[in-house]
Amino acid sequence: MDLIKTIFRAILSDRLAIFGLVVIILFIFAAIFAPYVAPYEPREIIKDTDTGLVAKYKPPSLKYWFGTDNLARDIFSQVVFGSRIALVVGFLSAILVVFVGTNVGLVAGYYGGRTDNFLMRIVDIAYAIPFIPFAVLLVALLQPSIKNLILVMALLMWRAPARVIRSQVLSLSQRPFVKSARVAGASNMRIIYQHIGPNILPFVFLYIPISVGWAIIAEASVSFLGFGDPRVISWGGMLQIAFASGAMRIAWWWTLAPGLAIVLVVISVYFIGRALEPLANPQLLK
Amino acid sequence: MRGFRGYIIVRVLQSIFTVLVIATILFFLFRAAPGDAVDYMIDPTFPPEVKEQVRARFGLDRPVSEQYVKYMWNLLQGDMGISFFSQRPVTREIADRVWNTLILALASFLIAYPLGVFLGAILATKRKTKIDSGGITFSLFFRSAPLFWTGMIFITIFSIKLDLFPYGRMREIGYEADNLFQTYFSLDFLHHLILPAFVAGLYLAALPMLLMRNSVLETLDEDYIELARAKGLKEREVLFRHGVRNAILPIVTAAAVYIGLALGGMAVIEVVFSWPGLGKTIVDAVTAKDYPLAQGAFIILAIMVSVMNLVADLLYGYLDPRITYTKS
């Protein structure tokens, strides 16, 4: 519980992190209450009430905040609904990535020797696999869906927290409190999760916001390349349609809105991550 | 295994092993792909005899274990099969693309790294000022923006609105080069390279900048900086001659890993700018279900990334004398 308090104190003492927290909360609200926040159905083809014509390629205005697309659909409403996918993919992937990475790091660092060597070879392999091309390949072979997108992230991204946490555990295992726990007859499981685990929690909490950011960008990239879940509205998917339909020439607003939404969410989690950095590495506090 | 030489041998063998494992993963991944591979090569309405012929020609009628051994054996000899779509050897299809990706990645890197390191050093001295938080926000903005989106925005502004740079492809439409030299050594190529390289550079600059900032901040606490100041050196001299020189080591070693990561990330930039590189090849090949081509391009990309990771490890060991390689 103390750690939660420390985390909140760290966030609230950093102006950029407060900004990040507020933005994330706003997006979470938009995602939950999307049907109430969005002025139109995201897939609804809008007819202009004055002219009776289909309102396609309308620039941003009071009526259509972020303009409309080539099929006369409201872009603001699509962005609001898109936040659901971004947040779900971002947070679920991050939890999986950090869960796998932490456990691999703990086991490798604590047992050392062959176990460590074996796990670190897997980390090497994961690092040699180019992420976006692999994600495209796997999602295409498994069928594009949100579930498979999250699976791909969990399959590769754990490499970063695993490596960092392993090196922490490696030095922690040599510390007297671990040795005395072992002498006292504590089981390996108990030493790993009760004695070493709490000491690496700052790293665990640091990697959650970072992974959320990675996952949101990765999801957007894979969707942009045409391998997103075709049944849902996502920011990357919106940008793919905008790119393919040549909107860069006709409707700049169509490119701008979904991209800015991605930037806002990702920069917010990075701001929060930065505020948590000194907890893991107190040298930065000075 | 003794000393640094032993370490090099071990790391090289590990890298080869890594690539072989990735090739194996790809082999089984593509075998698990839904549908019949033959249907991607010829019209599914062809009579079954023709299908059997094609199957036999590509060795797809043999047991999986035999196919796997043959696949690995061919791979070791540099044979990556025949593209379903063009019916040409995969190696021929991707030979040029390797250079295209490498040049783009290196150009972005050469923009990003010096810029990031320089700005990072500046920010470290402006700690807790508006410049510091402004610089961090600016760089994190481009770090948070997906590369393909920044690319689209830059195309809209610099190619479409201002008409300063061409976008898409590496050379003017209709241009055919006689040889590699003609393709890359020309103003036209450079003109096409600037925009994608700059966009990727903006994204890549954030990490060295933040690393450098932290590294300089740590260095500025050291005693020899105190001494340099006490000697009466100018603050700028203290920063660059004493601070930066000592802070730069971890950033140099991070560079190679970074090129490795950047290589994989080039895929989206290549798609946005129609840059005929390996990443775009993989995406196009997967879309067209041209699995041998996708597989070959992926393996080459993975080899390039592993080589960079290997270089990073060796560089680190070479530059940091505190690391020992003998087992105690």
What is the CB neighbour count within 10 angstroms for residue B116?
25
Cβ-Cβ contacts under 8 Å, A125 against chain B:
18, 21-22
What the block records as the tokens of B15 is: 């890298």
Residue bearing tokens 């047992």: A111
What is the rounded CA–CA span in Å between residue A266 and residue A91?
Answer: 12
The larger pLDDT score, comparing residue A209 to residue B171, is at A209
pLDDT score for A285 = 52
Stretches in chain B below the pLDDT threshold 50: 1, 326-328
Question: Per the CATH hierarchy, to which homologous superfamily does domain B94-319 belong?
Answer: MetI-like (1.10.3720.10)
In chain B, alpha helices (H): 3-31, 37-41, 48-57, 64-76, 90-125, 130-144, 147-154, 180-184, 187-219, 223-230, 235-237, 245-247, 249-272, 278-287, 291-319
Domain ranges across chain B? 2-76, 94-319
B147 vs A: CB within 8 A: yes
What is the rounded CA–CA span in Å between residue A10 and residue A8?
Answer: 5
Report A:8-27 residues touching B (Cβ under 8 A).
15-16
Q: B82 by DSSP, 3-state: which?
A: strand
| pLDDT tens digits, one per residue of A148-205 | 899 988 898 999 899 889 988 888 888 888 888 888 888 888 888 888 888 888 888 8
Report B:23-82 residues touching A (Cβ under 8 A).
29-30, 32-34
What is the rounded CA–CA span in Å between residue A217 and residue A210?
Answer: 11
pLDDT score for B327 = 45
Mark yes or no for CB contact A127/B305 under 8 Å: yes
**pLDDT confidence bin for A221, thresholds 50/70/90:** very high
What the block records as the tokens of A92 is: 């679920």
Residue A31 DSSP label = H
The yes/no answer on whether domain A2-285 falls in CATH 1.10.3720.10 is yes
What is the model's pTM?
0.88
Interface test with A, best of B12, B133, B149, B289 (most A CBs within 10 A): B149
Q: In chain B, what is the greatest distance between 2 CA atoms, to the nearest angstrom? A: 89
Contact present, B221 and A286 (Cβ < 8 Å): yes
**Burial readout A5-42 (b: 16 or more C-beta within 10 A, e: otherwise):** eebeebbeebebbebbbebbeebeebbeebeeebebeb
Contact present, B67 and B224 (Cβ < 8 Å): no
Report B:180-239 residues touching A (Cβ under 8 A).
214, 217-218, 221
A154 vs B: CB within 8 A: no
- To the nearest whole angstrom, how far is the Cα of B63 from the nearest Cα of chain A? 21
Give yes or no for residue A104 having a pLDDT over 90. yes
Residue in A154, A49, A179, A160 with CA at minimum distance from that of residue A91: A154
- Output Rg (C-alpha) for chain B, integer angstroms: 24
Give yes or no for residue A94 having a pLDDT over 90. yes
Residue in B260, B257, B212, B266 with CA at minimum distance from that of residue B239: B212
Strand intervals (E) in B170-219: none
Task: Please report how many Cα atoms fall inside a 13 Å half-sphere around the Cα of residue B58, on the Cβ side.
Answer: 23
Mean pLDDT of chain A: 86
**pLDDT confidence bin for A286, thresholds 50/70/90:** very low
Residue B247 CA to chain centroid, in angstroms? 25
| pLDDT tens digits, one per residue of A224-275 | 998 888 888 899 888 888 888 877 777 788 888 899 999 999 999 999 988 8
Cβ-Cβ contacts under 8 Å, B222 against chain A:
none
What is the rounded CA–CA span in Å between residue B290 and residue B85?
Answer: 6
pLDDT score for A252 = 80
Cβ-Cβ contacts under 8 Å, B37 against chain A:
none
Residue bearing tokens 């600037």: B194
Residue A46 DSSP label = P
Residue bearing tokens 């680190």: B316
Contact present, B241 and B152 (Cβ < 8 Å): no
Residue in A127, A69, A125 with CA at minimum distance from that of residue A252: A69
What is the rounded CA–CA span in Å between residue A279 and residue B100?
Answer: 43
In B145-179, alpha helices (H): 147-154
pLDDT score for B1 = 44
| pLDDT tens digits, one per residue of A4-32 | 888 888 888 888 899 999 999 999 998 89
Cβ-Cβ contacts under 8 Å, B156 against chain A:
248, 252, 255
- To the nearest whole angstrom, how far is the Cα of A243 from the nearest Cα of chain B? 8
What is the rounded CA–CA span in Å between residue A215 and residue A86?
Answer: 8
Instruction: Give the DSSP H/E element, type plus range, for residue B264.
Output: helix B249-272
The complex's ipTM works out to: 0.89
Cβ-Cβ contacts under 8 Å, A263 against chain B:
141, 144-145, 149
- To the nearest whole angstrom, how far is the Cα of A268 from the nearest Cα of chain B? 9
A184 vs B: CB within 8 A: no
In chain A, alpha helices (H): 2-12, 15-32, 34-37, 75-111, 113-128, 131-142, 146-156, 159-172, 176-183, 188-190, 197-222, 235-244, 247-250, 252-280
Mark yes or no for CB contact A136/B133 under 8 Å: no
A66-90 average pLDDT score: 84
What is the rounded CA–CA span in Å between residue B143 and residue B100?
Answer: 24
What is the rounded CA–CA span in Å between residue A258 and residue A67?
Answer: 12
Name A54's bridge partners.
Answer: A47
| pLDDT tens digits, one per residue of B292-319 | 898 899 999 999 989 988 888 887 777 6
A118-128 average pLDDT score: 91
